[in-house]
Structure 1
Amino acid sequence: MSFDPARLVADYDDGRLSRRGLIAGLTALGAAGALAGNVRAQEEAAQEKGGDAAESGPLFSGRNVDHIALDVTDVDRSVAFYERHLGLRKIRGDQNSAFLGRENGEFFVALFKAEQPGLNHFCFGIDDYDPQQAARKLKAEGREVRQTSGRTYFKDPDGIEVQLAQKRSL
């Protein structure tokens, strides 16, 4: 199974992939990047400190995947796809972005207009999220941090952007 979001959607559209396969592929895409990044980050940190990163424990405890954000070439077309095939609805957005979710108003798929389709970022919900504290912890580990409106972003070793947010019940 391909884990390129555009390929997954194309395979689904062409009938080569089931709805379950599409959802599994998109979920696996985010999870694989997160797991690979976490393992590499721990190994790098252990090497830099001359010890075992696992001994000090993780910086955060990811509780759920809060949302995934995809770069898409046509926002309206992608909205129509997710509405038709997954029963999502547009919560808010414009010609350059859309936030899709369920009737309760919480989104869990974000779409951003881009030249090339792909994964924009994924967000983990963590307990007791505090943006300033999260940034301090990440910077202490040598991570470059970007913060916008209380959101904290950093990149895994492969350059995939990770966002942190307060854990919420979905």
Structure 2
Amino acid sequence: MPYKRIDHVALDVADLAKSVAFYEHHFGFRKYNDYVTPGGTSIAYLKLGDTVLELVGEERLPMQGFHFCLISDEFDYAVAALKAANIGVVTEPHKTGAREPGEENWRRVVFRGPDGEHIEIRG
């Protein structure tokens, strides 16, 4: 197979600066690149470890049925911090099935991002 991994996940966002600040402040992403397409669309690239999030400044309908998942070694702390920041909860924390060894006692929670995207936390 010629493929190795997903390079990035892209989100269309209504307010690019607001979304960059949201992901930097609440999830620890850091913007490392800005780009404007030949058509004039502004894009910001953010990193969290090896994970790349591409935020595309497009005014479109809110995202439906889309989510991405972040792993946390400090699940309870992450949940408490996001709730304290009044980030909307879509699904309260609950136990989740293990997909592979090491995930037996993991839990998951889902929060809502500024454009309706779902942000799952597992750990």
User: What is the TM-score with the length of structure 1 in the denominator?
Assistant: 0.29
Kindly indicate which of the two structures has a greater share of residues assigned to strand.
Answer: 2
Could you say which structure has the larger radius of gyration? 1
User: What is the TM-score with the length of structure 2 in the denominator?
Assistant: 0.39
Kindly indicate which of the two structures has a greater share of residues assigned to helix.
Answer: 1
